[in-house]
């Protein structure tokens, strides 16, 4: 498989015999130093949620169906009014130039070549304008969304939103599950630090928050940092200053999902931050059907966390998701093979999705329902939304 020729990017080949996302992870470990590996692969605390994200998909079984008409099938779907070639997007991951010199630019070219959407991190090490140019240069490209952390300076945040709009981004993805970082033991053991020359380029020029004088016994977290933590009022403010649809990333609780729907957000991403914030938070495969029941088809749902096979994608769609986001595996492909590695990861996952659809008797995504899942706890789960409604 080849990717769109890009003279400015380093040329790499995916090693022969690379047959799965797990192979890409193994190859990436050989390329990344302990510092980068701790950042990209690690989770919070004992990494219970990190492990559960993957194992939860494994524990859901699929029901094969036979003798169904499958000719002419496809993976197309519609999301936020746009037709996508398949329901796989690249999740926002910071500092990708730490994995490979081409960083987010390589991911963008791979996403464009494979028709995948891309969500660019606020903490990208490549400017949104360059990423947008790479995505928009291919007519088959999926959408470009900009992930946003609300900053303590609203004026700076507004300028960042305007910058994303001007670059041609299709939506904003507000991360709401990280008012503080998790206790990332693996990073602390590795003494994690950003390498020289790599930074969050979108945050250049942001002044530090005003210092708060703490009295003896006060908490630097609750009495300091969390004074700037976003609230539901900030979601409404963000909606008021942008013309772009706003999705919330990091929703796991049904009550939060209902409140978000009541505010008229454009979509929700069921996510536990890849197991990097609150350890022992529920796996996203467990949270997704509860969120789907809560919103009853009022808005599209996406999900990330532990997706490693096309069967996982199919299970997510059967549980009520409109699409999935892929995080670590894309970075693993990037680390050892640049744009070609990311493209290969996306191709593998889409091919596996098509195989899983065929073997469960689903020629199109509209036919994917909870009936595919052999899981008694889900027998009463009947999401109202049909695939492609959004």
Which residues are catalytic, by number?
Answer: 273
Q: Hey, which residues does 62 pair with through a beta bridge?
A: 373
Half-sphere exposure at residue 328, Cβ-oriented, CA atoms within 13 angstroms? 30
**Do 283 and 305 contact (CB within 8 A), yes or no?**
yes
Name every residue whose Cβ is closer than 8 Å to that of residue 155 and which is 6 or more positions away in sequence. Answer: none
Tokens of 333: 């492909």
Alpha-carbon distance of 22 to 36, in angstroms, equals 18
Alpha-carbon distance of 274 to 333, in angstroms, equals 17
SS (H, E, C) 60-128: CCECCCCCCCCCCCCCCEEECCEEECCCEEECCCCCHHHCCCCHHHHHHHHHHHCCCEEEECCCCCCCH
For tokens 């605390």, name the residue.
Answer: 45
DSSP 281: P
Name every residue whose Cβ is closer than 8 Å to that of residue 137 and which is 6 or more positions away in sequence. Answer: 112
CB atoms under 10 Å from CB of 255, counted, come to 9
Alpha-carbon distance of 375 to 249, in angstroms, equals 26
> CA nearest 118: which of 248, 53, 110?
110
Bridge-based pairing of strands 77-79 and 267-270 is unpaired
For tokens 């969304």, name the residue.
Answer: 145
Alpha-carbon distance of 154 to 214, in angstroms, equals 24
CB atoms under 10 Å from CB of 147, counted, come to 24
Rg (CA), the chain: 20
């Amino acid at each position: 498989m080849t990717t769109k020729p890009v003279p400015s990017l380093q040329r790499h080949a995916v090693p022969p015999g690379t047959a799965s996302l797990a192979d890409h992870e193994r190859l990436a470990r050989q390329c990344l130093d302990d510092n980068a590996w701790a950042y990209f692969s690690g989770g919070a605390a004992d990494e219970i949620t990190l492990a559960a994200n993957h194992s939860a998909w494994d524990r859901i079984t699929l029901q094969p169906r036979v003798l169904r008409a499958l000719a002419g099938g496809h993976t197309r779907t519609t999301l936020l009014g746009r037709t996508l070639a398949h329901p796989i997007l690249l999740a926002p991951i910071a500092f990708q130039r730490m994995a490979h010199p081409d960083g987010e630019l390589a991911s963008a070219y791979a996403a464009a070549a494979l028709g995948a959407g891309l969500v660019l991190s606020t903490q990208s090490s490549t400017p949104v304008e360059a990423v947008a140019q790479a995505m928009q240069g291919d007519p088959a490209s999926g959408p470009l969304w900009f992930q946003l952390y609300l900053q303590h300076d609203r004026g700076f945040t507004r300028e960042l939103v305007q910058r994303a709009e001007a670059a041609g981004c299709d939506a904003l993805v507000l991360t709401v599950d990280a008012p503080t970082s998790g206790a990332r033991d693996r990073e602390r053991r590795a003494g994690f630090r950003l390498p020289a020359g790599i930074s969050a380029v979108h945050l250049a020029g942001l002044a530090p928050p005003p210092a708060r004088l703490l009295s003896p016994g006060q908490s630097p977290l609750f009495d300091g940092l969390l004074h700037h933590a976003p609230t539901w009022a900030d979601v409404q403010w963000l909606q008021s200053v942008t013309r772009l649809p706003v999705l919330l990333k990091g929703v796991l609780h049904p009550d939060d999902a209902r409140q978000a729907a009541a505010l008229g957000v454009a979509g929700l991403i069921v996510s536990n931050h890849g197991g990097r914030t609150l350890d022992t938070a529920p796996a996203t495969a467990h949270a997704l059907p509860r969120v789907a029941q809560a919103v009853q088809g009022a808005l599209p749902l996406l999900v990330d966390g532990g997706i490693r096979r096309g069967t996982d994608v199919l299970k997510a769609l059967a549980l009520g998701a409109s699409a999935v986001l892929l995080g670590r595996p894309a970075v693993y492909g990037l680390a050892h093979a640049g744009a070609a590695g990311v493209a290969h990861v996306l191709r593998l996952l889409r091919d596996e999705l098509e195989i899983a659809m065929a073997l469960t008797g689903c020629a199109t995504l509209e036919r994917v329902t909870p009936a595919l899942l052999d899981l008694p706890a889900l027998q009463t789960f009947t999401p109202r939304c049909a695939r492609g409604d959004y």
